[in-house]
């Protein structure tokens, strides 16, 4: 568990990065291959405040990480990231492949802990409480997740939704008791009208987009407060993608959403706030329009302009 420096930590939970950044570096043009070998010159720029202190604090912070570092063996995937997740908003994590955004996302419901080599430092808070104090299963009920590939279980549509509601052990709720919750979840995920007559059909017979919305409904059924989306549309066609995006925007009033995406247009369409990550560092965090239209860090500018990806 990471120790926070009391003086440095401001009210909104922002902890300045501990790593000192040096100014300078080569100015001569170098090849891409050589650039990878050397520390990135753009990273060696002046420190950019990535937490937007100018925003009013009327929002409710549901989750936040404090100096969170995650490493797999010797490789540091996430470095000292402090990031708030606000209720009623969509937070998009963007950045090039391998920048640690998926690892960061998966750490929020402790799926990362399933990897034997993963090591975590720093804290993750849910409603102000350290998540280490919660049982993993309890945490995952409050922080749901949707994956890159639609992955309904090989059972009926109804049973897929009811799966999370059925407790293991003595008293299994009857189908009739579960039905209102199942129907409600399907309605919230915008799938009800398409499947209301085929609830007993196998879920794997649905189309990819329908399967993904079924997975959303499945997550919603256990009433999470935060929903993590790991590139939820990358395996889907454009029409299914836009339906999922609509669903995300509709859901954000009732549930905080964190989405990892490679698709900048998608981030622009759905996100209220954006965090840009690069090589494990959180480079910039702010309101979506600001990050996309007036990014403060050079690295962010290059990325949102499409210079690299």
- Binding residues vs other proteins (CB under 8 A): 31, 33-34, 109, 111, 114, 136-141, 144-145, 147-151, 153-155, 163-164, 168, 204, 208, 211, 215, 218-219, 222, 235
Is the CB of 23 or the CB of 32 nearer to other proteins?
32
How far apart are CB 225 and other proteins at their closest, in Å? 13
Quote the least distance from Cβ 160 to other proteins, whole Å: 10
Least Å distance between CB 109 and other proteins?
A: 6
DSSP string, the chain: -PPP-TTT--TT------S--------S---HHHHHHSPPGGGGS-----S-TTS-TTSPEEEEEEEEEEEETTEEEEEEEEEEEETT-EEEEE-STTSSHHHHHHHHTT-GGGSTTEEEEEEEEETTEEGGGS-HHHHHHHEEEE-SS----SSBHHHHHHHTTSPSSS-PPPHHHHHHHHHHHHHHTT-HHHHTT-TTSBGGGS-HHHHHHHHHHHHHHT--SEEEEESTTTTS-HHHHHHHHHHHHHHTTTSEEEEE-S-HHHHHHH-SEEEEEETTEEEEEEEHHHHHHS-SSHHHHHHHHTS--
Looking at the Cβ atoms of 81 and 215, the one nearer to other proteins is 215
How many CB atoms are closer than 10 A to CB 239? 9
To other proteins, the closest distance from the beta carbon of 156 in angstroms equals 11
**For other proteins, the closer CB: 59 or 147:** 147
What's the min distance (Å) between Cβ of 164 and other proteins?
Answer: 4
Which residue number, 22 or 27, has a Cβ lying nearer to other proteins? 27
Please, what is the minimum distance in Å from the beta carbon of residue 103 to other proteins? 13
Nearest partner of 261 among 71, 99, 144, 68, judged by Cα: 99
Q: How far is the CB of 12 from other proteins (least distance, A)?
A: 28
C-beta of 240: minimal distance to other proteins in Å?
A: 12
Whether 83 and 64 have beta carbons less than 8 Å apart is answered as: yes
Pick 99 or 162: Cβ nearer other proteins: 162
* 145/251 with CB nearer other proteins: 145
Closer of 82 and 185 to other proteins (Cβ): 185
Taking the least distance from each CB to other proteins, the nearer of 43 and 155 is 155
Judge whether 273 and 286 are in contact, CB under 8 Å: yes
């Amino acid at each position: 568990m990471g120790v926070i420096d009391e003086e440095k930590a401001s009210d909104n939970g922002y902890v300045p990065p501990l790593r000192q950044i040096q100014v300078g570096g080569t100015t001569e043009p170098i090849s891409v291959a050589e650039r990878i070998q050397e520390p990135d010159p753009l990273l060696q720029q002046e420190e950019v405040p990535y937490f937007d202190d100018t925003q009013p604090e009327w929002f409710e912070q549901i989750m936040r990480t404090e100096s969170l570092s995650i490493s797999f063996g010797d490789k540091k995937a996430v470095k000292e990231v402090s990031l708030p997740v606000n209720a009623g908003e969509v937070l998009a994590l963007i950045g090039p492949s391998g920048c640690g955004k998926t690892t960061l996302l998966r750490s929020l419901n402790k799926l990362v802990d399933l990897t034997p080599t993963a090591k975590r430092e720093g804290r993750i808070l849910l409603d102000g409480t350290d998540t280490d104090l919660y049982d993993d299963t309890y945490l995952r009920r409050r922080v749901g997740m949707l994956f890159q590939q639609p992955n309904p279980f090989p059972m009926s549509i109804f049973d897929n939704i009811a799966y999370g509601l059925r407790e293991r052990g003595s008293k299994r709720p009857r189908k009739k008791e579960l039905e209102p919750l199942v129907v409600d979840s399907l309605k919230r995920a915008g799938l009800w009208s398409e499947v209301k007559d085929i609830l007993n059909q196998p879920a794997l017979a649905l189309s990819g987009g329908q399967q993904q919305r079924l997975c959303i409904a499945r997550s919603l059924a256990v009433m999470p407060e935060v929903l993590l989306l790991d590139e939820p549309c990358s395996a889907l066609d454009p029409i299914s993608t836009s339906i999922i995006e609509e669903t995300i925007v509709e859901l954000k009033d009732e549930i905080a959403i964190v989405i990892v995406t490679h698709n900048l247009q998608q981030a622009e369409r759905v996100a209220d706030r954006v965090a840009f990550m690069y090589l494990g560092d959180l480079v910039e965090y702010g309101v979506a329009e600001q990050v996309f239209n007036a990014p403060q860090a050079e690295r962010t500018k290059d990325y949102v302009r499409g210079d690299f990806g």
